[in-house]
Amino acid sequence: MSQLKMTIDRTNEISKINKEIYGHFAEHLGRCIYGGIYVGENSPIPNINGYRKDVVEALKALKVPVLRWPGGCFADTYHWMDGIGKPEERRKIVNTNWGGVTEDNSFGTHEFLDFCELIGCDAYVSLNLGSGTVREAAEWVEYMTSSNVSPMTDLRKKNGREEPWKVKYIGIGNESWGCGGGMSPDYYMDLYKQFQQFIGHGGKIACGPNAADYNWTDTLMRRSYGYFQMKGLSLHYYTIPTGDWGKKGSSVDFSKDEYYSTLANTWYMEELLKRHGATMDKYDIDKKVGLVVDEWGIWTDVIDGTNPGFLYQQNSMRDAIIAAINLDLFNEHSDRVKMANIAQMVNVLQAVVLTEGERMVKTPTYHVFDMYKDHMESTLVYSHIENKQLLENKYLPAVSQSVSVDESGKLHLTISNASLEEDFDIDCVLPRSGFKSATARILTAPYTTCNTFDNPEAVEPKAFDGVTLDGESLKFTLPKCSVLAIELC
C-alpha cells in the first residue's frame, strides 16, 4: 500500500460550484420519458399525475437542480405544438432518431414543466433550430414564459395553465454540427444570431463543439466578442470504453484492461475543459459565458436483446468511478463550467435510475450524485494530492478529488480511487482549519458490480469510520475501486 500526501487549504477559495453542474438530461429516447419518468395517470404503476412515484421520490432526494429536455437529436425534429392540448388529440409522429417508434406526444410542454415543478428543479428547454422556424421557437418561449396578453398566452391558459412557468435556460439547437443539421460553425452562428434576436430570454445556451472541435468554440466566441448574447456554450463528450463508436464495449462484461482504458478516456474531459476554457478566455477573460457540458457520461453497446435505438445499458461500479472523475473535474473547473447534464436521467446511457415495469433501481451513478450533492452552491477550495499514474502509455491518475466549503462552514471532500490493485493511505494536512469532527460514506464494490432488479442494493453507500482527524491532520485509507465522501465540521 502506498502513501499519498495531500494538502487542503480552506482559506484558498477558488470558485463557486454552481448547483447546475449536477444537472440532468432527459430526451424522448427509448424508455427515458415513457415508462421511465411518465406512465400516464391510468397506469397500474403508482404515479402522481402520471409521473412514476418511485422515480419522483428518488430524484427529489438527489435535489436535481436542472433538467434539459426534449433532446438531444430529438429536439431538432420536435414541433412543440404537437405536444399541447388534449392528449388524445395530439399528433402521433415517428421518432426518426431513436428506433423509428411512434411518439404520441402525450408528454409535452405542460407535462415537462409540471414535472420540473414537482421534483423542484429548473427547466432547460432546447429549441428546434434544425427543422423549425424562428417564429415557432419564439412562440414556444412566449407560450412558456410570458405573462402578457398574447395569442400564445391565451392558448396556454386555454390548455389549463394560467401563470407562466419559470424556464431558466433555453438551448438554441443541439449538435448543429451533426444530427442538428450538419452545419459549419459560421453557418450556425448566422442562424444563432437570427434566432437569438427574436427570442426574448436571458438564459440562452448556444450549441457548442463536438468534443475537441476547438475551431467551433473559437468561431462562436470570436463572432460574439464584445456582445455576448449567450449565457453559455455547450460541450458534448461521451466516454466510449473502446474509443470505437462502431463497437463501444459492454456495460456488464468487460476486462480489467477495458476498465482502465475506459477511465483513461474519461480523463480526456480534463483536456477538453482546459483547452475549450483557454479558447473562451481569449475573448472572455471575465468568464461571462459559461461552458455547459450538457451531455456527458459513458456510452456502451446496448444490453443484448434490447432495441438498439433505445440506448439501454447497465451501470456498474465502473460508472460510479466515471461519475466521480467527471464531477471532480467539473468542480475543479467551476470558474468556467457553469452547468453539466448527465446523459441521461432514466433508462438511457449512464442513467441514475433504471426501471422495469413496476420496479426501479438506483444505479451506482445515482449514489455518487447523492454523495456529491453537498458540493452544490459551495465554494471550491484548494486541494492537491501527490497522485499516482495507473497506466504506462496513457494518462490515468489513480485518484480524483474535490473539496468545497458550504455556507455553514462545513468542508466536503470527495475522493475516488480508480486502482483495482491498491488501497492508498491518504495523509492530508489542513493548515488553519479548526475542524473538530469527521463523518464519511463510502461506495465500493468489485468493478463490474451492478444494481439489478433482483439485487438492487449490491452497490450502496455505507458509513465509513476509518477517518482520523487530529488537529490539522486528516488520515484515512482509501480502498481500491471506491468513492469516499467526507464531511468535516
C-alpha cell at 241: 470504453
Instruction: Kindly report the number of other CB atoms within 10 A of residue 82's CB atom.
Output: 15
The DSSP code sequence of 168-224 is -EEEE-SSTTTTTT---HHHHHHHHHHHHHH---S-EEE---BTT-HHHHHHHHHHT
Residue 467, classified by CB atoms within 10 Å of its CB into exposed (0-12), middle (13-18) or buried (19+), is buried
From the CB of residue 231, how many other CB atoms can be counted at a distance below 10 Å? 20
Least distance (Å) from ligand AHR to the CB of residue 489? 39
**Burial environment of residue 452 by CB neighbours within 10 A (0 to 12, 13 to 18, 19 or more):** middle
Position closest to ligand AHR via CB? 72
Q: Is the peptide bond before 46 cis (omega within 30 degrees of 0)?
A: no
User: ∠182-122-103 over CA atoms, to 5°?
Assistant: 50
Residue with cell 482520523: 468
For residue 180, the minimal CB distance to ligand AHR (Å) is 8
Q: Is residue 487 within 8 Å of residue 393, measured between CB atoms?
A: no
Residues that bind ligand AHR (CB under 6 A): 27, 71-73, 174-175, 295, 343-344, 349
Nearer to ligand AHR, 291 or 343 (CB): 343
Residue from 139, 270, 295, 332 carrying the catalytic annotation: 295
Residues in the chain: 489
Q: Which is nearer to ligand AHR, 344 or 444 (by Cβ)? A: 344
Nearest to ligand AHR of 73, 138 (CB atom)? 73
CB of 297 to ligand AHR, least distance (A): 8
Nearer to ligand AHR, 122 or 295 (CB): 295
Rounded to a whole number of angstroms, the minimum distance from the CB of residue 316 to ligand AHR is: 19
CB of 90 to ligand AHR, least distance (A): 22
In this complex, which beta carbon is closest to ligand AHR, that of residue 344 or of residue 449? 344
- Contact (CB, 8 A) for 345 and 67: yes
Supply the minimum distance, in Å, between the C-beta of residue 71 and ligand AHR.
Answer: 5
Which residue, 38 or 237, has its beta carbon nearer to ligand AHR?
237
Secondary structure of 215-265 in HEC code, one letter for each residue:
HHHHHHHHHCCCCCCCCEEEEEEEECCCCCCCCCCCCCCCCHHHHHHHHHH
* Contact status, residue 287 vs residue 229, Cβ threshold 8 Å: no
Q: Is 47 or 174 the residue whose CB approaches ligand AHR more closely? A: 174
**b (16+ CB within 10 A) / e for 361-392:** bbbbbbbbbbbbbbbbbbbbbebebeeeebee
Distance separating alpha carbons of residues 391 and 397, to the nearest angstrom: 8
Closest among 452, 447, 451 to 460, alpha carbons compared? 451
- Least separation, in Å, of the C-beta of 265 and ligand AHR? 16
* Nearest distance from C-beta of residue 125 to ligand AHR, angstroms: 15
| 13 in active site | no
**Is residue 88 annotated as a catalytic residue, yes or no?**
no
User: Which listed residue (103, 111, 175, 270) is catalytic?
Assistant: 175
Looking at beta carbons only, is 254 or 299 nearer to ligand AHR? Answer: 299
| C-beta neighbour count of 472 within 10 angstroms | 14
For residue 48, the cross-strand partners are: 51
Q: Write out the catalytic residue numbers.
A: 175, 295
